[in-house]
Structure 1
Amino acid sequence: MLEELVQTALNRELPSRTAALRVLAGEDELVDVIAAAFRVRREFFGRRVKLNTIINLKSGLCPEDCSYCSQRLGSTADILKYSWIEPDEAAQLAGQAVAAGVKRVCLVASGRGPGDRDIRRVEGMIGTIKDEHPRVEVCVCLGLLQDGQAERLRDAGAYAYSHNLNTSEQRYGEICTTHTYRDRVETLQRATRGGLSPCSGAIFGMGESDEEIVDLAFALRELDPDSVPVNFLIPFEGTPLGGRWELTPERCLRILALFRFCFPDVEVRLAGGREIHLRGLQAMALYVANSIFLGDYLTSEGQPGADDLQLIADAGFTVEGLEHPTLPEQRHDLVALRHRGAGSTRRGSS
């Protein structure tokens, strides 16, 4: 079955549902699954690791009620809350990230979706960043898009738009009630039609079954994203999913392997929660995923950037596009400049 999965992926074809479920079910030894996934990863991406980072432009006070999110409506999670940062702050953070080897900077803002004023503000930030770092990919994540907004972001210099499906269609109403699964699909389609590279993935560890994981992977495949972030739930206290610790390192690795088989030539990005759920097996995940986030996430800390770079080197991989990354003297902390006097100054814990 693993050989079938490899050959199907090398042909850029979708695996059978039976084969996909077997990856998750544990019928094959984990090391054999990882080795099979690595054959696919190596064929399309060699031993390169692409680095990404998040710049949280606006944090907290979101009107949506996504159960996993520390910024949700009604959240009592102890996180930073602030309004929009200034363009020069965004550019400074982007500059630190680019020096460390980051190829994609993800500009993220909480909220249901951007209004015209928000789009104008982000257009300015994109311009400032691109003026100083013309080769960096700017990805934007602002929530649900309206008609014409993707085109404006593209014209401002954005490369990609990120909007995760997060969970399967049949479970979506259990996770969020203020918008629908279909709303998310339509935003991704608007971004694609508007000329932005579509980025969409999921969050795991929210009670989903093997069948629902496969449903989601297959649904994402139909949307044809260029990059697929795989997140693992950070169970913030003060949210409905706080305290939910159902993932194991093996479960995470099997999910990653499934996504590699479903997206053989697409950027599979190891994203939020990797440090706390993969723990000592993070290096093994690099044999499946070809992309990771460097530094911190939206409201939780990642591990120091220097540790990530050492992890990559120790596993025998190289940072894509940069031979000698440079980190600041202090910890690579992309929240360090945020946010003077704007609400809480406490950080969420992971």
Structure 2
Amino acid sequence: MTAELLDQLVDKALRREAPTREEALSVLSETVELLDVVAAGSRVRRKFFGRRVKLNTIVNMKSGLCPEDCGYCSQRLGSASEVLKYSWITPGKAAEVADHAVRAGAKRVCLVASGRGPGERDIRRIEDTIAAIKVDNPQVEVCVCLGLLTDGQAERLAAAGAHAYSHNLNTSEARYADICSTHTFGDRVDTLRRATAAGLSPCSGAIFGMGESDTDIVDLAVALRELDPDSVPVNFLIPFEGTPLGHRWELTPDRCLRILALFRFYFPDVEVRLAGGREIHLRTLQPLALHLANSMFLGDYLTSEGQPGADDRVMIADAGFTIEGVHESTLPAARHDLVAIRRRGAGTDLPANA
């Protein structure tokens, strides 16, 4: 039955169909052998992305002192974590950091700033930063992550040359209030919809290891799929001392890989990104994760250090993968198979599909 279930999941994913809740919960349970789950997810990954790995990097534009109280975040209101705290870096400094990452293989640069959402001065700063980055690297994708957006801001970012906007849902709607009280799950959904409507590529994912149940994980995957993101970062909680979740060390490499496999089945042709916490929780099994995720962050994260970039590039090569070049398309080709010419109803002898 296990082989039949996994074959069914693969077949569905290749047709871009979502798993049933029962199938999804089976992937997360330990009743199905881990390596069988990874092998099945890998078949889907290879179909849509071959053996390419897209590299992304983060530029933390403004660190710490956030007014929001997200329990997982070292920059949150009331955080006692001894992370870097600074105001906005200059566009020139951001361009310098971005250029270094691009030369190391990064195809996307993510500009992130702590805070509830951007004000007018913040939008202008990002506009200037995008322009500075594009001087030497006009081909690089620029993703922006500034929190909750208001009217007209997404359009400003798109006009400035931003490629994508990132705003994670983080956890299921049912338990969102347990993680944050200063904004809602619905606020996050609204921002993603604003970004998408403005023509920005939607990027939204999750953080796991915060006490969520298997049902929460499936609920979140379903909610994300409804938003139709182009990229889905999968983060694993980095338990910073001085935060409400600093005591949580419940993830295992097995659990992380099952979550990644599940997200590959839910998002077969979407960029699934191996993100924060991979080094801490996957440890020596990081190369296995590359058989599920087709994208990963290179270098450091917002407030924690990542694995050295040179080690990441060796890991990618040793696992038999290649770094995706700037001129290669991350997402699969246009879905012409979804365009069906009408041959029933009015003007034909066949009944309408109503």
Taking structure 2 as the reference length, the TM-score comes to: 0.91
Are residue 92 (structure 1) and residue 96 (structure 2) matched?
yes
Query: Which residue of 1 is the match for residue 139 of structure 2?
Result: 135
Match of 1:190 among 194, 205, 221: 194
In the aligned structure 2, how far is the partner of 1:282 from the partner of 1:118? 36
For 1:26, the aligned partner's letter is E
Match of 1:222 among 222, 226, 235: 226
For 2:42, the aligned partner's letter is F
In the aligned structure 1, how far is the partner of 2:122 from the partner of 2:99? 23
Are residue 83 (structure 1) and residue 87 (structure 2) matched?
yes
* Number of residues of Structure 1 aligned to a counterpart in Structure 2: 323
Match of 1:315 among 315, 319, 324: 319
In the aligned structure 1, how far is the partner of 2:126 from the partner of 2:204? 20
Q: Alignment partner of 2:107: what SS?
A: strand
In the aligned structure 2, how far is the partner of 1:258 from the partner of 1:167? 15
Spell out, residue by residue over 1:57-110, the C-alpha distance to the aligned partner (whole angstroms, 9 max, x if none). Answer: 000000000000000000000100000000110000010000001000000000
Percent pairwise identity: 76
Spell out, residue by residue over 1:16-57, the C-alpha distance to the aligned partner (whole angstroms, 9 max, x if none). Answer: 111000000122100000000000000000000000000000
The 5-angstrom pairing of residues 194-209 of structure 1 reads 194-209=198-213
Larger radius of gyration: 2
In the aligned structure 2, how far is the partner of 1:89 from the partner of 1:128? 9
In the aligned structure 1, how far is the partner of 2:131 from the partner of 2:18? 38
For 1:166, the aligned partner's letter is N
Are residue 240 (structure 1) and residue 224 (structure 2) matched?
no
Spell out, residue by residue over 1:163-187, the C-alpha distance to the aligned partner (whole angstroms, 9 max, x if none). Answer: 0000000000000000000000000
Query: Which residue of 2 is the match for residue 33 of structure 1?
Result: 37
In the aligned structure 1, how far is the partner of 2:216 from the partner of 2:223? 10
Query: Which residue of 1 is the match for residue 336 of structure 2?
Result: none
Query: Which residue of 1 is the match for residue 302 of structure 2?
Result: 298
Are residue 260 (structure 1) and residue 272 (structure 2) matched?
no
Query: Which residue of 2 is the match for residue 286 of structure 1?
Result: 290
For 1:48, the aligned partner's letter is R
Query: Which residue of 1 is the match for residue 346 of structure 2?
Result: none
Q: Alignment partner of 2:47: what SS?
A: helix
Q: Alignment partner of 1:161: what SS?
A: strand
For 1:4, the aligned partner's letter is Q
Query: Which residue of 1 is the match for residue 78 of structure 2?
Result: 74
**Runs of 4+ with deviation above 3 angstroms:** none
Q: Alignment partner of 1:108: what SS?
A: strand
Query: Which residue of 2 is the match for residue 171 of structure 1?
Result: 175
For 1:309, the aligned partner's letter is R
In the aligned structure 1, how far is the partner of 2:36 from the partner of 2:63? 41
In the aligned structure 2, how far is the partner of 1:147 from the partner of 1:14? 33
Taking structure 1 as the reference length, the TM-score comes to: 0.92
For 1:213, the aligned partner's letter is I
Match of 1:145 among 121, 144, 149: 149
Query: Which residue of 1 is the match for residue 64 of structure 2?
Result: 60
Match of 2:9 among 5, 9, 13: 5
Spell out, residue by residue over 1:253-295, the C-alpha distance to the aligned partner (whole angstroms, 9 max, x if none). Answer: 0000000000000000000000000000000000000000000
Q: Alignment partner of 1:269: what SS?
A: strand
Query: Which residue of 2 is the match for residue 333 of structure 1?
Result: none
Are residue 104 (structure 1) and residue 108 (structure 2) matched?
yes
In the aligned structure 2, how far is the partner of 1:87 from the partner of 1:213? 38
For 1:252, the aligned partner's letter is C
Offset, 1:147:
1.1
Query: Which residue of 1 is the match for residue 235 of structure 2?
Result: 231
Query: Which residue of 2 is the match for residue 121 of structure 1?
Result: 125
Match of 1:156 among 160, 168, 181: 160
C-alpha RMSD of matched pairs (Å): 0.8
The answer (yes or no) to whether the contact 2:139–2:326 under 8 Å persists in 1 is: no
In the aligned structure 2, how far is the partner of 1:117 from the partner of 1:105? 21
Offset, 1:322:
6.7
For 2:95, the aligned partner's letter is A
Q: Alignment partner of 1:190: what SS?
A: helix
In the aligned structure 1, how far is the partner of 2:122 from the partner of 2:94? 15
Spell out, residue by residue over 1:214-259, the C-alpha distance to the aligned partner (whole angstroms, 9 max, x if none). Answer: 0000110000000000000000000000121000000000000000
